[in-house]
Structure 1
Amino acid sequence: MHNIGYRKYDGPRLGRAYARRSLYSQSLRGAYGLGRSAKSKVLPMILLGVMCAPALIMVAVTVFTDMNKLPIEYTRYAVVLQAVITLFLASQAPQAVSRDLRFKTTPLYFSRPIERADYVAAKYAALTTALFLLTALPLLILYVGALLAKLSFGTQTAGFAKGLLTVLLLSLLFAGIGLVIAAVTPRRGFGVAAIIAVFVITYGAVSAVQGVADAQENYHVIGWLGVFSPITLIDGFSSWFLGATSAFPHASGPPNALAGAVYLLAVVGIVAGCYGLLMRRYRKVGLS
């Protein structure tokens, strides 16, 4: 055989785990525009700033007015700023997967050594981490500010822990739903519009029906209706399992233990279902 001078690679074979970590880190960096153009950094950094600004204001008010508690509970912060979280998800979920579908680069990922499960796990974990950073950083600001204001260490630490658990579940749920929607189409614009529509329409519909139930004093129904929207699902879960104050009319969270169990099963089921749908989706597109 003619030797044309190419040398064989004789270095270390880093394998699937290294490829999976690399895909995760690059996807996480990409969610905030790191390693990309300056234009790609503008929106995620603005949204991060918008998420943190109210926390900084609340801390300043608490410190300088000697308040005996924070103006908002840790578990309520993400619910109040749900619009910002939705915009971040809508802008970054399609960025994570739609371009790979559009330019048909997924077969390159799956050629060797990475597999479909690695790709889905890395993308899901990266977007979940990006959302968690977006929602947990303001809670950290509130916690540090509360300690500076000399509020009860035990009370603030417990509230901060509950808030972190709430935003972790929110991040898992939102990331799964956003990635499933974004993976349906290679067109980023369609993905952005679809994600915003799903979150806004479901929340609007649930809120409207809850308002009707409240007007009819049917408070028992209000708690059940929260299952049908991602943000109200998290709100109901945190109010039942973590003792948080619900944003539902009359603070009508899940009305009983059965409803609370339904909220828990809904969160777990949707997260698992989204992961399964992503695996099914990438079994179909991996070789095309």
Structure 2
Amino acid sequence: MSPQTPGPAQAAASAATPADTRIHNIGYRSYDGPRLGRSAARRALFSQSLRGAYGLGRSAKSKVLPMLLFAVMCVPALIIVAVAVFTKSSKLVMEYTQYAVFLQMVISIFVASQAPQSVSRDLRFRTVPLYFARPIERVDYVLAKFAAMTSALFILTASPLLIMWIGSLLAKMDFADQAEMFGQGLVSVALLSLLFGGIGLVMAALTPRRGFGVAAVIATLVISYGAVSTLQGIAYGTDHIGAVKWIGLFSPVTLIGGVQSAFLGAPTQFPGGEGAAPGTGVGAIYLLVVLALIAGSYGVLMRRYRKVGL
């Protein structure tokens, strides 16, 4: 049997000299650049989550709803300012502390749409354990998400107050009075942002399904307010005015309203007017409940991510 004739590739290989031989190392190199650590990772996650709440860095479709809600929040403030400037009024037609309560439906829709976007996708696609690979830890993730949601809400609620304050200065209203009321309004919306942000994230983190998260947030913020307002109306209509202030403890919106009435000089929205508004003593209970809910929301999130982070 005749030997097999070598092919062109074999002939070229046999003709190669040792000088033509090359060994290529295609392995991975170790990273020798700067390592920024946990704080940088936490800041990056906060920035990404805050930008994502307004659709920045995402598709154009994702920007429509948050930007529309932001515009809806600011338009009434612009109208209030225009009326004050052209009529040369000595006061604004709405208190700074009333504004967020008046537009609480818009705020609730923002929380319902953006809180699930912030956390539900990470749960659905099981990317949370990737975050908890070094250097970031569970507390960093929860803090970054909580701070981002709170900051997004504060921007949403404080921006119209800033417009109103600037408008009051253009209308030549008393600077000291307006600055004091503006500060009270900022304290109010800061508390509201912490409370709504914490509750929204807890509801959204309970399920990886975004639709379920939206429904849970709506039920907690909107339906609870409707139920509490109805019960307060019934209590007032049946001459149980003293019960009105206690019923207000069971809705996030009325909790903020009670704190404002007791400590920030805001007119009450409760049925019965000032007679049904919480005084300093009951107002302290309102404030303690608000702070307990904020701390409790953080604790529930930490417990939730202890499981899903594995």
User: TM-score with structure 2 length normalisation?
Assistant: 0.90
| Alpha-carbon shift at residue 255 of structure 1 (Å) | 3.5
Contact 1:224–1:254, Cα closer than 8 Å, also in 2: no
Deviation at 1:8? Answer: 1.5
Deviation, structure 1 residue 222: 1.0
**Higher-Rg member (1/2):** 2
> What residue number does 2:150 align with?
128
**Corresponding residue number in structure 2 for 1:236:** 258
Q: Unaligned 5+ residue runs, structure 1? A: none
Q: CA deviation at 1:254?
A: 4.5
Deviation at 1:258, TM superposition (A): 2.9
Check the 8 A contact 2:84/2:171 in 1, yes or no: yes
Separation in structure 2 between the aligned mates of residue 160 and residue 80 of structure 1, nearest angstrom: 16
Deviation of 1:184 after TM superposition, in Å, equals 0.4
TM-fit CA distance, 1:25: 0.3
Counterpart in the other structure of 1:262: 285
Q: Which residue of 2 aligns with 1:226?
A: 248
- Name the structure 1 match of 2:13: none
Q: CA deviation at 1:144?
A: 0.2
SS of residue in 1 equivalent to 2:272:
helix
Residue equivalent to 2:12: none
The answer to whether 1:83 aligns with 2:105 is: yes
Partner of 2:18: none
Q: What is the one-letter code of the residue matched to 1:260?
A: G
Residues of 2 paired with 1:255 and 1:102: CA distance? 43
Q: Is the 8 A contact 2:263 2:280 kept in 1?
A: no
- What letter matches 2:215 in structure 1? A
d(CA) in 2 for partners of 1:77, 1:220: 26
Q: Which moved more, 1:207-216 or 1:266-275?
A: 207-216
Please point out which of 13, 20, 27 is paired with 2:42. Answer: 20
User: Could you tell me which amino acid in structure 2 is paired with residue 140 of structure 1?
Assistant: L
Structure 1 residue 218: Cα displacement: 2.3
Partner Cα separation in structure 1 for residue 79 and residue 285 of structure 2: 36
Once the two structures are TM-superposed, the CA of residue 259 in structure 1 deviates from its matched residue by 1.1
Moved over 4 A (4+): none
Shift of 1:101: 0.1
In structure 2, which of residues 206, 227, 236 is the aligned counterpart of residue 214 of structure 1?
236
Q: What is the CA distance between 1:217 and its match in structure 2?
A: 2.7
Aligned partner letter, 1:138: P
Q: Work out whether 1:52 is the aligned partner of 2:79.
A: no
Q: Do the aligned partners of 2:261 and 2:267 also contact (CA within 8 Å) in 1? A: yes
- Report percent identity of matched pairs: 66
1:73 to 77, 95, 109: 95
CA distance in 1, matches of 2:82, 2:287: 36
Q: Tell me which of 160, 171, 176 is aligned to 1:138.
A: 160
The residue number in structure 2 matching 1:194 is 216
Provide Cα deviations, 1:63-96, integer angstroms capped at 9, x if missing partner: 0011111010000000000000000000000000
1:278 aligns with one of 288, 297, 301: 301
- 2-side partners of 1:42 and 1:97: how far apart? 20
Equivalent of 1:156, from 173, 178, 187?
A: 178
Note if contact 2:120-2:204 (Cα within 8 Å) is conserved in structure 1.
yes
Is the contact between residue 226 and residue 236 of structure 1 (CA under 8 Å) also seen in structure 2?
A: yes
**Conserved in 1, the CA contact under 8 Å of 2:50 and 2:148?**
yes
| 1:201-237: CA deviation from partner (whole Å, max 9, x where unpaired) | 2111110111011112322211121110000000000
Of 69, 76, 83, the residue aligned with 1:61 is 83
For the 8 Å contact 2:138–2:306, the answer to whether it is kept is: yes
- Residue 128 of structure 1 aligns with an amino acid whose one-letter code is T
State the distance in 2 between where 1:192 and 1:100 align.
Answer: 15
Contact kept in structure 1, 2:258 and 2:278, CA below 8 Å: no
Provide the TM-score with structure 1 as the length reference: 0.97
- Give the counterpart letter for 2:303 in structure 1: R
For residues 254-274 of structure 1, give each alpha carbon's deviation from its aligned partner in whole angstroms, at most 9, with x where no partner exists: 434331121011011000000
Partners of 1:63 and 1:189 lie apart in 2 by 44
- More displaced, 236-245 or 85-94? 236-245
Contact conserved, 2:111 with 2:196, CA < 8 A, in 1? yes
Contact kept? 1:33, 1:40, Cα under 8 Å: yes
Moved more, 193-202 or 110-119: 193-202
How many pairs were matched up?
286
Provide the secondary structure at the position in 2 that maps to 1:249: coil
Mean alpha-carbon deviation: is it higher for 223-232 or for 79-88? 223-232
- Choose 76-85 or 189-198, whichever is displaced more: 189-198
Larger CA deviation: 194-203 vs 33-42: 194-203
Contact 2:270–2:277 (Cα < 8 Å) also in 1 = no
Distance 1:256 1:131 in 2: 28
SS of residue matched to 2:28 = coil
Partners of 2:53 and 2:66 within 8 A in 1: yes
